[in-house]
Structure 1
Amino acid sequence: MKRQLILLLLAGLPLLGCGPSGPSNVSVVTGLVTVDGKPADSATITFAPVPSGKSSFGRTDETGHYHLVYTTDIQGALIGEHTVTIANEPPPGQPRPAVMVPRQYGKAGKLTASVAANQSNEIDFALSSKMK
């Protein structure tokens, strides 16, 4: 009985460290997306690691705030550099968001961000409707 208890405890050790904080190569990412100073609602934001890796996704609320999700159980994004895309094109038949994100920001390479280790990252995007 004692041996079985020890084996059971040892089997659970690998699970330690994978709790709510998630893996060590992922940090929490939140922020605000605005267009010409107004909150961008219903925008999808994607962080794609450079040069490669699993992307993280989020969606802005009516105040323009977002938080990224790495997996269904892990919040955040991989540590390091990312290309960022932001778009809020509604599907056909759906209402148009109050503040539209210009299409240029939905293309990879227009925006970048760096996710730092061991901290919560607040990364805001102040977008402009003027073409650059």
Structure 2
Amino acid sequence: MPETGLVEGTVTMDGQPLPNVSIVFQPQDDPKARASMALSDEQGHYSLSYHADKQGALIGPHKVSVTTPSDAPDPSGQAKEPIPAKYNSKSELVVEVQAGSNDIPLELTSK
């Protein structure tokens, strides 16, 4: 297994915790590399998993996307994503994962 750093933090929108959102850290150096994922809890806290039996994310820069899992599209047939595109489909969020433990808060804004 490649070297990873443990990653956890809190995801917020306009200062309020974002519960039950999906967080994906995709390595920037190698877009084909395995991404790390997490689902935030009721307080917006997340802890990344790299593999079924390995926590964390690969060392280095990552593009981060935050999305709301949706089971039901709106009446137009389109899923309505309350999180702005700059944090998911057109993510501008880039963070650096270091060896060891990383506390990476994701502070999003609705504007």
* Structure-2-length-normalised TM-score: 0.83
8 Å CA contact 1:44, 1:60 repeated in 2: yes
Task: Report the structure, 1 or 2, having the larger helix content.
Answer: 1
List structure 1 runs of 4+ shifted beyond 6 angstroms.
none
- The answer to whether residue 18 in structure 2 is matched with residue 40 in structure 1 is yes
SS of 2:53's equivalent in the other structure is coil
1:107 shift after superposition = 2.1
| Residue identity (%) | 38
Offset at residue 127 of structure 1 (A): 0.5
SS in 2 for 1:28: strand
Higher strand share: 2
TM-score using structure 1 length: 0.71
Does the residue aligned with 1:104 lie in a helix, a strand or coil? helix
**1:24 shift after superposition:** 6.1
**Gaps in structure 2 of 5+ consecutive residues:** 74-81
Deviation at 1:78, TM superposition (A): 0.3
Q: Which has the higher contact order (CA 8 A, sep 6+)?
A: 2
After superposition, residues 23-102 of structure 1 pair within 5 angstroms as 23=1, 25-52=3-30, 53-92=33-72, 100-102=82-84
The CA deviation at 1:64 is: 0.3
Q: Which amino acid aligns with 1:128?
A: T
AA matched with 1:66: Y
Does the alignment pair 1:127 with 2:108? yes
Q: List gaps (5 residues or longer) in structure 1.
A: 1-22, 94-99
Q: Pairwise CA RMSD of aligned residues? A: 1.6
Q: Compute the displacement of 1:50 (Å).
A: 1.2
Partner of 1:113: 95
